[in-house]
């Protein structure tokens, strides 16, 4: 594979050469030629399959939690774990030389670049053989993936480059691409999603693939981000009215078993294969899981990123999502067995000394995230050196319901609209909570926080509140941890500049492209 060192785009057209039906298998490194390939749906589908898996890995691996959760105050990196930037995401001291900044830029632009190359390839093929439904579908699928990549890019970095033709850029040798203002990047995303919505089918042609309503749902989220409440409501309502999605009854299973992959609630998820190992399997369990769970079988489970005291305290009494999302003292799973837990796993924090290392834990939070933890493999899950098959949910139906409720609230302070209440209370009912009778900006943001905790999204919810409100939210959080004796080492973070709502562009990119130091310009 050939990578452009400036923007890290994959410029070869990649193809699944094997006979496997699994669309997330490793691609061949041989680029096909237009005259002999992309002559049927199977060949196009094989090419777009890459966009769901390994090219997301460098972002999914650690940046996913560091950016979306550590910055948002839901997770902390104990003892300044170097894997997560030595704590800089907890205290907003991220530098342009940070490895996760570079990993995010590289990975997300790699997704966008691959998707763009496929769009142009399929368009060129259509110019040769005429428009074909399978080519149009491939273009729509690739444009959806490009849109969601840019959605993460612009929410993470703010004003950013849009690269329309990465192959032409590579051939030119001139990498001086400007940054474009964020509102134009969002419009670029919405244009991609409109095309995807128009040309994708209403039902996924293969489990895990996007469909028309995936595009409608992501459009609703993009509109909400820029406070276009009327269009956010319209698009969310289209997904709801389709009747094709529903809240998955077993919230806990959704995040602890690959058997629940691509369920009724999933509009878009990254697809992983543990059999592929590094960069092909889901790595979250390795870093978020407790060391007592996976060792000694896999020498994995680092507790590198943990729930904050603040998120643990955020759940209402009786909210079942706390137990479904967080391992705390007394949590047990009889199906997770290994040599240390022959009768099943027990989360025990009554740690006394080093003799308790094998079965007990005493980290700074006295808890671990439970989301994306599938256990030891003794319960039928494939666990390969800590990697798993469980998908990473990027857009769920509960998000659509809460977007719909918030879009009805709009810029107002509160609403008692019956449709908004019904949407929000569906989410609360699954969690075992009574319905609310009024929706405010505070309680819907709280609902989003506990519903999507540890899913890499909360920071973007805080960010879109604007600097003044985000500053207050962050300052009120307890980002500390427990000392060994159980007392709290209290830590409060602060943001002092609107620029801290976004990460700096990687230093290496700025050095290669001085235009990234210049003011953003309009794209449209």
Tokens 């995303």 -> residue: 189
Instruction: Give me the number of domains the chain comprises.
Output: 1
| 153 occurs within a structural domain | yes
Pick from 150-159, 445-454, 506-515: least confident = 506-515
Mean pLDDT of 253-281: 97
Whether 489 maps to a domain, the answer reads no
How does pLDDT run across 188-210, given as a tens digit for each residue? Answer: 999 999 999 999 999 999 999 99
Residue 398 maps to a domain: no
Residue 498 scores a pLDDT above 50: yes
Q: How far is CA 76 from CA 61, 99, 303, in A?
A: 16, 17, 10
User: Which pLDDT score, from 0 to 100, does residue 294 have?
Assistant: 85
**Which pLDDT does position 4 carry in this prediction?**
36
Model confidence at 1: pLDDT above 80: no
- For 345-379, the pLDDT digits (tens) are 999 999 988 888 889 988 999 999 999 999 999 99
| 21-35 average pLDDT score | 50
Position 434 pLDDT exceeds 50: yes
Residue 284 lies inside a defined structural domain of this protein: no
Number of other CB atoms surrounding residue 194 within 10 Å: 15
Q: Which tokens in the block code for residue 170? A: 């590579």
DSSP letter (8 states) at residue 267: E
Task: Give the pLDDT band of residue 472 (cuts 50, 70, 90).
Answer: very high
Q: What per-residue confidence (pLDDT) applies to 300?
A: 74
Residue 225 has pLDDT above 70, yes or no: yes
pLDDT at 16 (0 to 100)? 29
pLDDT at 298 over 60: yes
**Within a domain: residue 45?**
yes
The reply to whether 408 falls in a domain is no
Asked whether 387 and 277 are in contact (CB, 8 A), the reply is yes
Q: What is the DSSP string of 171-189?
A: HH----PPPB-HHHHHHHH
- The backbone torsions φ and ψ at residue 24, rounded to the nearest 5 degrees and listed phi first, read -110, 15
Residue range 221-230: mean pLDDT, rounded:
98
pLDDT surpasses 60 at 26: no
First-residue to last-residue Cα distance in the chain: 33
Per-residue pLDDT band for 31 (boundaries 50, 70, 90) equals: low
Domain assignment present for residue 34? The answer is no
Average pLDDT, whole number, for the chain? Answer: 91
Q: How far apart are CA 92 and CA 105, in angstroms?
A: 18
Query: 89 lies in which domain range?
Result: 41-200+504-517
Contact 333, 381 (CB under 8 A): no
CATH of the domain at 50: 1.25.40.390
Helices (H), 84-132: 88-91, 99-129
pLDDT in tens, 95-140: 999 999 999 999 999 999 999 999 999 999 999 999 999 999 999 9
**DSSP symbols for 268-310:** EEE---GGG-TTTSB-HHHHHS-HHHHTTTSS-----SEE-HH
Q: Which of 132-146, 165-179, 260-274, 388-402 has the lowest mean pLDDT?
A: 165-179
Report percent pLDDT > 90 for the chain: 82
Crossing angle of helices 133-157 and 182-199, in 10° steps, is 160
Q: Which residues contact 427 (CB under 8 A, 6 or more apart)?
A: 247, 398, 401, 402, 447, 451
Q: Which two tokens stand for residue 67?
A: 């950016």
| pLDDT band at residue 299 using 50, 70 and 90 as cut-offs | confident
Between β-strands 332-333 and 326-327, what pairing exists: parallel, antiparallel or unpaired?
unpaired
Q: Which of 21-30, 327-336, 341-350 has the lowest mean pLDDT?
A: 21-30
pLDDT tens profile 72-92? 999 998 777 788 888 899 999
């Amino acid at each position: 594979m050939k990578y452009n060192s400036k923007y890290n785009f994959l410029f070869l057209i990649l193809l699944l050469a094997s006979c496997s039906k699994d669309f997330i298998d490793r691609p061949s490194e041989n680029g096909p030629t237009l005259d002999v390939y992309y002559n049927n749906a199977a060949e196009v589908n094989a090419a777009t399959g890459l966009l769901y898996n390994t090219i997301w890995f460098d972002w999914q691996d650690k940046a996913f939690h560091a950016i979306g959760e550590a910055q948002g105050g839901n997770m902390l990196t104990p003892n300044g774990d170097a894997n997560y930037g030595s704590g800089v995401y907890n205290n907003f001291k991220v530098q342009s030389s940070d490895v996760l900044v570079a990993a995010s830029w590289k990975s997300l632009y790699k997704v966008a670049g691959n998707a763009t190359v496929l769009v142009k390839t399929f368009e060129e093929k259509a110019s040769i053989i005429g428009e074909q439904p399978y080519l149009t579908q491939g273009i729509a699928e690739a444009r959806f993936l490009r849109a969601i990549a840019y959605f993460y890019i612009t929410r993470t970095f703010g004003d950013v480059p849009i690269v329309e033709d990465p192959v032409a850029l590579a051939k030119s040798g001139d990498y001086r691409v400007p940054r474009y203002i964020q509102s134009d990047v969002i419009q670029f995303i919405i244009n991609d999603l409109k095309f995807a919505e128009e040309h994708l089918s209403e039902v996924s042609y293969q489990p895990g693939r996007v469909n028309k309503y995936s595009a409608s749902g992501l459009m609703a989220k993009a509109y909400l981000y820029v406070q276009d409440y009327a269009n956010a409501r319209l698009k969310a309502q289209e997904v709801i009215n389709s009747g094709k999605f529903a809240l998955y009854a077993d919230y806990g299973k959704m995040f602890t078993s690959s058997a629940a992959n691509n369920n009724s609630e999933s509009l878009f998820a990254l697809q992983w294969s543990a059999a592929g190992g590094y960069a092909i399997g889901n790595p979250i369990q390795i870093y978020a899981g407790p060391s007592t769970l996976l060792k000694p079988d896999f020498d994995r489970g680092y507790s590198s990123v943990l729930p904050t005291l603040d998120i643990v305290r955020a759940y209402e009494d009786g909210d079942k999502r706390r137990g479904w999302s967080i391992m705390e003292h007394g949590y047990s799973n009889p199906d997770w067995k290994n040599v240390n837990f022959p009768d099943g796993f027990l989360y025990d924090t009554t740690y006394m000394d080093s003799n308790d290392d094998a079965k007990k834990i005493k980290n700074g939070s006295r808890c671990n995230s439970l989301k994306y933890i599938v256990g030891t493999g003794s319960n039928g899950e494939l666990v390969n050196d800590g990697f798993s098959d469980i998908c990473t949910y990027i857009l769920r139906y509960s998000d659509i319901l809460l977007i719909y409720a918030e879009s009805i609230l709009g810029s107002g302070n509160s609403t008692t609209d019956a449709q908004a209440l019904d949407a929000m209370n569906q989410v609360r009912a699954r969690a075992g909570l009574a319905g609310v009778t009024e929706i405010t900006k505070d309680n819907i943001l709280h609902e989003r926080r506990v519903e999507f905790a540890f899913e890499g999204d909360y920071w973007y919810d805080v960010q879109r509140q604007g600097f003044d409100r985000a500053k207050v939210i962050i300052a009120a959080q307890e980002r500390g941890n427990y000392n060994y004796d159980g007392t709290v080492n209290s830590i409060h973070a602060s943001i002092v500049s609107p620029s801290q709502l976004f990460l700096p562009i990687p230093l290496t990119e700025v050095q290669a492209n001085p235009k990234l130091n210049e003011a953003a310009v309009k794209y449209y």
